[in-house]
Structure 1
Amino acid sequence: MLLALLAQEGVNGYEYRCLSALAVADQLSQTDLGAAAALDPRDVTHTVRALEDRGLVSRAKDPSHGRRQLVSLTSDGQRTAKRLADTIVEVQDAVFGNLTRKECATLLALLERVARP
């Protein structure tokens, strides 16, 4: 369901994760973006390049570290990230709408336990 809705917005899961992380942090190095989006460094490079080609992010050299690239959302990227956040709310409502707050909290706690190594 989520991937289909993201595809309607023209992004894949990796791109969504990067846009979402940048919407929260404003500007990140590619390394930090990979950590925030839980992506492999090669996937970050490919994903950032694809987003940059579509005008959703921009890259600039970090003035404090010559080899590092800083990634930030463009104005189009900010609008896209907002639309995607709204899409996520719709998905959450559809998937979890029948659960009580307590049931949602329990489910989240269990999922966090499963996700931890």
Structure 2
Amino acid sequence: MNELTAADLRVALLRLARRVRAEKADSELTDTQFSLLAALDRRGRATLKALAEFERVQPPSMTKTVAHLVDRGLVTRSRDPDDGRQAFVELTAAGHAAVDETRRRRDAWLGMRLAALDDRERAVLADATEIMRRIATE
């Protein structure tokens, strides 16, 4: 059996992630834009500041990303009635649909690849999934 190196695992994970990310409902959405939509889907309405912190980007970058998504009808932006300096961002029905369809496509693509594996390979991946989850949270 080959010895696993950190570099081997890193490259394989990056290639797989890149391939899965390619399965999008809207090919014009960038990975950053989709990441923001997915965060809003998971977390609900959020301020621009909170989104910038969560996505680890500068506020001006987040403002541009949100403006693009507003123009596309995927999110709405509204002022906080209690603090006019704050803006809230929220998914529209079209934004929810884009997230749902992208997730469905990604799961279908990966599911087809998993179905082509034998039982032993799927068991190895199940074990590896738990190990990667643990590594990611430590």
Q: TM-score, normalised by structure 2?
A: 0.68
What is the percent sequence identity of the aligned residues?
Answer: 22
After superposition, the C-alpha distances for 1:32-89 in whole angstroms (9 at most, x for unaligned) are: 1122333332221111011001010010001121101000011111111111222343
Write the distance in 2 (CA, Å) between the matches of 1:70 and 1:16: 18
Match of 1:106 in 2: 131
Runs of 4+ in structure 1 deviating by more than 3 angstroms, as ranges, are 6-9, 90-95, 97-100
Superposition RMSD on alpha carbons, in Å? 2.3
User: Larger radius of gyration, structure 1 or 2?
Assistant: 2
TM superposition shift of 1:112: 4.2
Q: Say whether residues 1:47 and 2:72 are aligned partners.
A: no
Paired residues for 1:4-23 under 5 Å: 4-6=22-24, 8-23=26-41
Count residues in correspondence: 112
After superposition, the C-alpha distances for 1:78-112 in whole angstroms (9 at most, x for unaligned) are: 111111222343455467x4443222111222344
Greater strand proportion: 1
Q: Say whether residues 1:37 and 2:37 are aligned partners.
A: no
TM superposition shift of 1:14: 0.7
- 5+ residue gaps in structure 1? none
Q: 1:94 to 1:111 in 2, by over 3 A?
A: farther
Structure 2 counterpart of 1:107, which letter? Answer: M
Q: 1:14 to 1:26 in 2, by over 3 A?
A: same
